[in-house]
Amino acid sequence: MPRSLRERLFMLSMGSFLLLYILWPLGGLFLRADWSLVASASHDGEVLSALWRSIWTAAAATGVIALFGTPLAYFLARQSFRGKSILEAVIDVPIMIPHTVAGIAVLMAFSPKAPAGALLTSMGFSPVNSNLGIILACMFVSIPFYVDAARDAFYSVSPRTEKVARTLGASFPHVFFRISLPLARKGLISGLIMSWARGVSEFGAIVIIAYHPMVAPTLIYDRFATFGLKYSTPVAVQLILVCLGMFVVLRILAAGKRKEDAEI
């Protein structure tokens, strides 16, 4: 057997442990689920509403993060300054702190008694026990996943290419939107996917600021606490199937776009 093949097989066998560690619990969940309940859950209005709310609130949070996080990520990738490591550490804080702590922090920042919460309330928006509260919680926990991925994507774009375009008379917006963003697109898409996935899966922060209306993770917990494992498992299976399907579609679309770019 060629040495290179042996090395690849060794690396694959070592890495397959983690793959098995993912598939084993998920396989057990699917095998032990009551599929008659899973089928009925697919027609349950409460389940469908929670699943859809998880999807669109996470997408809304990701959209806001992308709007403000892309310039921030570009700034971090292109500038070196005193305190940069502190700023990057602040961005990563939501990854490190417990999610219930994140929820308490968001609640204290946007409760009706806080200035920001009072302002939103005066404008007719309720940040507590509302879709807005869910979006606020998702934004807090998802920011690092997009900003870090986008920053690394911009790092991979050569500043020399941008400078050449500027010396040829291109404006900064033209360089940014026509050169930097397209070249960093792969990392940006990955960041969007991970940020959205983080929001869909969030429970701890959301349950603090918005137990109602329920998202899928909250509904799973509520049914587990009320009815037990048998009736919470079907909702969990539905959420996994939806997320897996969307992940596959997004990855295929991203891979297809990369293939088109390579052919060009």
Q: Which domains does the chain have, with CATH numbers?
A: 36-263 (1.10.3720.10)
228: left (phi over 0), alpha (psi -120 to 50) or beta: left
With H, G, I as helix, E, B as strand and everything else as coil, classify residue 130: coil
Phi, psi for residue 79 in degrees, rounded to 5:
-115, 145
With H, G, I as helix, E, B as strand and everything else as coil, classify residue 101: helix
Say if residue 75's pLDDT is above 70. yes
Residue 251, pLDDT score: 74
Residue type, 141: V
Q: What is the pTM of this model?
A: 0.88
Q: By CB neighbour count within 10 A (0-12 exposed, 13-18 middle, 19+ buried), where does 240 fall? A: middle
Residue 260, pLDDT score: 55
Phi, psi for residue 222 in degrees, rounded to 5:
-60, -45
Residue 259, pLDDT score: 58
Give CA–CA dist 88/70, Å, rounded: 14
Confidence of residue 73 (pLDDT cuts 50, 70, 90): very high
Per-residue model confidence as pLDDT tens digits over 203-219: 999 999 999 999 999 99
Residue 209, pLDDT score: 95
Say if residue 191's pLDDT is above 70. yes
Q: What share of the chain is helix, strand, coil (3-state, %, to 5)?
A: 85, 0, 15
Buried b (16+ CB within 10 A) or exposed e, 45-81: eebeebbebbbebbbbbbeebbeebbebbbebbeeee
Give the residue from 98, 103, 50 showing the smallest Cα distance to 232. Answer: 50
The token pair that represents 246 in the structure block: 């969307």
DSSP H stretches of helix in 42-184: 45-78, 84-96, 99-110, 115-122, 131-155, 159-167, 172-175, 181-183
Residue type, 61: A
